Structure formats: structure tokens, C-alpha cells
Amino acid sequence: MTAAAIEVAGLAFRYPGADDESLRGVDLRIEAGDFVAVVGGNGSGKSTLCKTFNGLVPHFWDGDFAGEVRVFGEDTLESSVSALGRDVGYVAQDFGNQLVRPTVREDVAFAPINFGLEDWPARTEAALEALDLGPIADRFTWQLSGGQQHLTAIAGAIAVAPRVLIVDEPVAEVDPERADDVYRHLERLNREHGITIVVIEHHAEFVARYARSVVLMEDGRVRWHLPVREALGRARDLEAAHIPVPPVAALVRALDPDAPVPLTVEETLAWVGANAEVAPAAGTEAASVPESASDPAVERAVVASVRGARHSYRTVVGPRVPVLDGVDLDLRDGERVALVGGNGAGKSTLLSLLSGLLVPQAGTVVVDGVDTRASTPAALADHVALLGQRPGEMFLTDSVRGDVAMFPAGRGAPDADDLVDEVLDRFALRPFADRDGRLLSGGQQRRVTLAIGLAMRPKLLLLDEPTSSLDLRSRDDVVALLAALADRIRCVAVATHDMHLVAEWADRVVVLEAGRVAADLAPAELFDDPELLRRARLVPPQITEVGRGLGVRPLPLSLDELLERLVLRPVGAVA
């Protein structure tokens, strides 16, 4: 048996002022060189547990701390956060605020310099190189997109080459292809340098592909710590903790509950290829073919229209950075539009233009018949609402109710009270109505922002990354709420990296690439175009990839759609 990197015994912790313990009776042993995924619902104690590994708990959070945490044999209580920092790298979930230096390069160099590593310049360059941050190395960190900030934080932790690296949600806000890069890099650190990796991860697909063992957290306890294949086989435990099994595992299990749990698309294809066959498309198939939104036959009323929009922003030093470079786009009645593209492709800027908070430097944006140049953001808010990336910034009053009521009450809507009540009910926010939105969990905060948006009764609702950093239950929740908005809002556009959201919710995908619309098509068409996916740094959902690998046409977008087309071969039919 190898040495333990982290040993936890009888750990309990209660935040000051909290009624319940966030961690209770935790015993855990993480072997040196392991790649551990910590899973569990929002609020199960995952982040708190990981903060005990580098001493942030209890050194920075005084609460009731009991038990013992040892890192390579050293008791964290007797050490300090910055001494532990040499051995334990930590990347927090809050990506923007963990950057402490002005530029990307300086931030990455910060920790190596602090630990007195003489080769810090080389380490810095290597870390920048590894995550492809060279082109933005001299940019100021607060002007980066969320994904770029997150990559910078990861590069900063990698540059130290600690013995344990803890990453709280490595791929939140990162575009899908770079998400794979991040994980591949973590895997390389793990395999080649023997660095123990601990990730908190909501995406079961990444857990399946990269982790070697899984810790399931539930109500502040470690439910179990198992090798990954065994862990993903425990579907019932995972589902009880709101961690759906990876879609490929669910697929194989649905076909044959006794089959071995596949971890990757390749394993799934091998098993399905040997044990099942694709049924011909049923007669009803035509109905389920997603209508291409760009179909000229279905000409619906235009809600918003962007013509030749260009935009760039000034940086602290150097020339303007162009973000949008001639975008033409019409958003129509009844559409559910997903804006996708790599980090920095211009998604958020396009949303700002559509909301009227920004006006384009060239070209026009017309929303609900109003040219944004001829109006003010306040007047445009009657037509369009933008829900930003950071829910915290939407909370302007000291209660959820106050925030939801702000817009309708401020405009003197006669039915404001009824409307607020209805919206609070609809989003199940009554229990929190008098609490400060900032103090809610991530999933609850998203619900509140959606409620604020709905209470504005816009024609066009714009959302920036509504599902990032949510556990799958909260995510499904948001997707369901979005779907249910259709009756109240004429058009919803979402900027997202979440391909499941694209597959399950959107009926039209607009791919942005280097500030232009690179493609405008239906989700199934997008996932069937490998060249486009590669260029836009997208990775299709596993189910769609399996469907493609099996030659299922049209491409399935959900597990059920794929299951409909697969038939298990009778036992013995395979040699």
C-alpha cells in the first residue's frame, strides 16, 4: 500500500452561526498518486471538505472544528495555510476573485515566487504554455472572460507543481474542448509527476473518464470512497445524492443491468456493437426530427435583429481588442436559441448588445422594433432582460422578494404584488422570499435570477451561462424552468458551454467564432458536423457521440431517443 497523501479522521466542522454541521464524522484516506473525484449535491460539504485539506478550514474559517486532517503526515492544525500551500495547490470555484495579480503572467508566477522557486520564470512559461494562455499572458486579469480567468487560476496552481492539487470544479465556465484540455493536463500531472489530484466535479462524464476513485459526499459525510468503475455502478446511491450516472453508463444499464459499467464512449461503442443493433428508423421518426430553425418555410416574427454589429473594447494597454466583427442575426418568435463558441468568442458581448447595455460601434441592433441606439437601457428593459453570469450582481436589495418586485413595482405595474407572488410560487422561492439572495446556494441563486427575469416580463430573455457550477439536479431544474418560460416570453437566448443544455433545450444553435456567426443550425446538425465542432471548440454530449458512432440517423439528442433505436441481441446470438 502506498503512502497516504491525505488522512482525515473523525472530522467535524460547523461554520460560525450555522445550525448544522457542514462536515460530520468524516474519515477518509487519499493515497498519494490517486486521482480522486469528490461528488455530491450542492451543499453536501464537498467544498468544505476540500478546504480542510489545505488548512483554509479551520485557519480561515473559525468554526467548531473537531477531528484531525493530516497532509503527508503533517497535522493541518499545527501548520499554516501558506506553509501547506507548497504541498497543496488549491483552485477555488470563484474563479474571478482568486486572481491576485494584475496580469495573467504575474498571477501565474505569484505562487512560484512566493515559495522561493528559483526557476519560477521557466515554471510560469511552462504553465502558460500547457493551458494555451500564451496569447493572453500580458492581459489584465479582470478583463478576461470567465473561462479565461479560470484557466489562469489553474495555471497558477500548476506552476508550483504541488504534491496535491485540489480543483473545485475544473471546467465550470470553460469551453468544452478546453475542458478536455484541462482534464488531460491534470491527468498528465497525475501520471507523469505523481501529483495527487482531487477534483470536485458535477459532470459524471469527466469523473468516468479521468478519475481513479470517487468520494461520494452526502449531508456532510463521506458515504463511500470507491474505485471509479465500482462507484459508477452504484447508480442508486448516486441518484439518491442527485448525481446522475454518466449517460453512457445509463445507456448500457438500461439495455442490460448486469453489463459492466462503461466509462468512455469507446467502451460503450464496443459493448453496444457486440450486444445490440440499431433498429431502422420507426415511422414516427419524421416527427421527432428537429425542425431546422433556419428553415425558410417557417418564417416567424422577428423579435430582435442584429445587422453588421461590430464591437471592440479598450484595454489598459495596447490597442482595442475586437470582440464582434460584423454579426448578422435575427431572433424570432418562439425560438430557443443557444449561443455557443469558445471562451472569448463574443457571446457575452453579443448579449450585452442585444440587451442595450452596450450599443454597437458599427451596425444596428433592433429589439422588439426599437433601435437600441435610440433608447436607454431602462426603457429597453420593458422589451429585453439580461441575466448575467454572476447571480450576485442581480441582487440589489436585501431580500429575494425585493429583488423580484423591484422591476414591476418600480414601473408601477398595477398587478405587481400578484405577479411577484406568482413568480415566487412558480420558482418555489416562497421559503426564501425574505432572505438575502447572496446567502443562498448557487442553485437557489440561479432560480432567483430567473425569477427576476420572468417578473420583468420581457419579450426577449437573455441568459449568460445559466447552468455553470450547478449540480445536475439544479441544472435540470434550470433547464425545466427555461422550457416552462415559453408561454410567457417570446424568445429566449442563452450563451452557454453546456452541450447538454444545447441538446435538451435549444431548438436553434448559433455558433460564434472569432466575433462572427460561423454557423446557424439545429442542435442535431451541429453535433453531426465534426469539423465545425472542432473549430468552435465544442464537444457533443456522450449520447450523441455514441449515436454517431453507431450510425444512428437522425442523431439522437437524448438517452431516450437513442434507446428507442437500439435492440438488444438475444443472448447467444454473438459469437
| Closest distance of CB 237 from other proteins, Å | 32
With cell 501520471, the residue in question is: 191
Question: Given the complex with other proteins, which of 335 and 403 has the nearer CB atom?
Answer: 403
CB closer to other proteins, 262 vs 443? 443
Instruction: Using the minimum distance from each CB to other proteins, give the nearer residue, 10 or 392.
Output: 392
CB of 195 to other proteins, least distance (A): 16
Beta partners for 340? 511
Distance between CA atoms of 405 and 140, rounded to whole angstroms? 37
95 or 183: CB nearest other proteins: 95
Cell 430553425, residue located = 293
Rounded to 5°, the CA angle 368-520-389 comes to 65
Q: Least distance (Å) from other proteins to the CB of residue 357?
A: 6
Would you give the end-to-end CA distance of the chain in angstroms? 40
For residue 392, the minimal CB distance to other proteins (Å) is: 5
Q: Find cell 433556419 and name the residue.
A: 294
Q: Give 142 or 270: the residue with its C-beta nearer to other proteins.
A: 142
CB of 172 to other proteins, least distance (A): 14
Rounded to the nearest whole angstrom, what is the least distance from the CB of residue 469 to other proteins in the complex?
A: 14
Please say which residue, 274 or 397, places its beta carbon nearer to other proteins. 397
How far, rounded to the nearest angstrom, does the alpha carbon of residue 29 sit from its chain's CA centroid? 28
Min separation Cβ 169 and other proteins, Å: 14
449 φψ region: left (φ > 0), alpha (ψ -120 to 50), beta (else)? alpha
Least CB distance from residue 102 to other proteins, whole Å? Answer: 5
By three-state DSSP, how is residue 147 classified?
helix
Question: Which of the 8 DSSP states describes residue 268?
Answer: H
CB of 263 to other proteins, least distance (A): 32
Shortest gap between Cβ of 490 and other proteins (angstroms)?
Answer: 18
Pick between residue 372 and residue 544 the one whose CB is nearest to other proteins. 372
Distance in Å, CB of 269 to other proteins, minimum: 42
Contact assessment for residue 356 and residue 367, using Cβ atoms and an 8 Å cutoff: yes
Q: Centre a 10 Å sphere on the Cβ of residue 486 and count the other Cβ atoms it contains.
A: 13
Tell me the residue length of the chain: 575
Element (H, E) at 7: strand 4-14
Looking at beta carbons only, is 368 or 421 nearer to other proteins? 368
CA 385 to chain CA centroid, Å, is 22
Q: How far apart are CA 416 and CA 277, in angstroms?
A: 56
Query: Is it true that the peptide bond before 58 is cis, omega within 30 degrees of 0?
Result: yes
Please say which residue, 81 or 269, places its beta carbon nearer to other proteins: 81
Q: Whose Cβ is closer to other proteins: residue 252's or residue 419's?
A: 419
DSSP string, 378-434: HHHTTTEEEE-S-GGGG--SSSHHHHHHHHHHHTT-TTHHHHHHHHHHHTT-GGGTT
> Residue 436 burial (CB < 10 Å; 0-12/13-18/19+)?
middle
CB 167 within 8 A of CB 91: yes
Q: Select 411 or 430, whichever has its Cβ closest to other proteins.
A: 411
Residue 403: is it exposed, middle or buried by C-beta count within 10 angstroms (0-12/13-18/19+)? buried
**Nearer Cβ to other proteins (340/394):** 394
- Main-chain dihedrals φ then ψ at residue 398, nearest 5 degrees: -100, 10
Dihedral angle sign, alpha carbons of residues 199, 78, 224, 93:
negative
Residue located via cell numbers 410560487: 425
Closest separation in Å from C-beta 92 to other proteins: 6
